[in-house]
Amino acid sequence: MLTHHRKPVCLSIISTDLPVWSVVETAGTLYQKDTDRFHLLLTAPPLISCEVGSLPSPEETLPHNSNHTYTPTSPRILWLEISPYRVIMTMQGNAQVSYRHFWEQGVYGISRYWLPTESLQPKEPIRLRNFTNSLTLTGNTLPEHLRLEYELWAAKVQLGRYILNLEIHH
C-alpha cells in the first residue's frame, strides 16, 4: 500500500530552556507505508559554514569583511518515519554532521550524531539519550500535525528540553 503525496512542510525544533531553534519550510514527499505508518522525505536547505580569520570590529559587518569565508554545504536529506507510537528522524547527505533520533512516548530513545571525517573519532557516533514526554500525531487519513516534547540527556546530565513540531499542509 505504498502511495505518495507531495506536500508543503514546516518542521521546527525549539528548546524550552536554551537559546536553540531551527525552522525548515520546504516541500516533502509523504509515503504511506500502512494505515498509520508514514515516511516523510524532505530536503533541508544547506547549512552555511563560516571560517573566521579574525573577529570584526564593531564598525564592520560580517558579509563585507574579507577575513571571513562563507561556504554553503550540500543540501541535507531529512527522513522521518512516523506513526502514532514512535518517530524516527534521520539527517544525512552533506558530509558534515549526521544524526538519527528515535522517540517513543514514555521511553528513553537513542540519539546518535556522526561528526565530520576530520573529527577525532570519525567512525563512532556520539550517543545521547532522549526521554519522550509527549508524542501527538493528528490528521484524518494522512498526518497533518506532529508534536514531540522530549528531553536530551548525556549520562546523568540533561542537555535541554525540546519541542519538535511538524506541520504537513494539505
Report CA-CA distances (Å) from 74 to 13, 96, 113.
Answer: 21, 9, 18
pLDDT by residue for the chain (170 residues), tens only, comes to: 557 889 999 999 999 999 999 999 999 999 999 889 999 999 876 655 545 444 444 444 444 444 545 455 567 789 999 999 999 999 986 567 788 999 999 999 999 988 776 655 556 789 999 999 999 999 988 999 999 999 999 999 999 999 999 999 98
Report DSSP state, residue 129. E
Which residue range is the domain that position 135 belongs to? 3-52+63-168
Q: Does the predicted model carry a pTM greater than 0.75?
A: yes
**32 domain-assigned:** yes
Please report, for the domain that includes residue 48, its CATH number: 2.40.128.20
- Distance from C-alpha of 73 to C-alpha of 114, rounded to nearest angstrom: 16
Query: Which pLDDT score, from 0 to 100, does residue 119 have?
Result: 52
Domains held by the chain: number:
1
- Which are the contacts of 115, defined by CB distance < 8 A and separation ≥ 6? 97, 121, 122, 126
Distance separating alpha carbons of residues 53 and 159, to the nearest angstrom: 30
Distance between CA atoms of 136 and 13, rounded to whole angstroms? 15
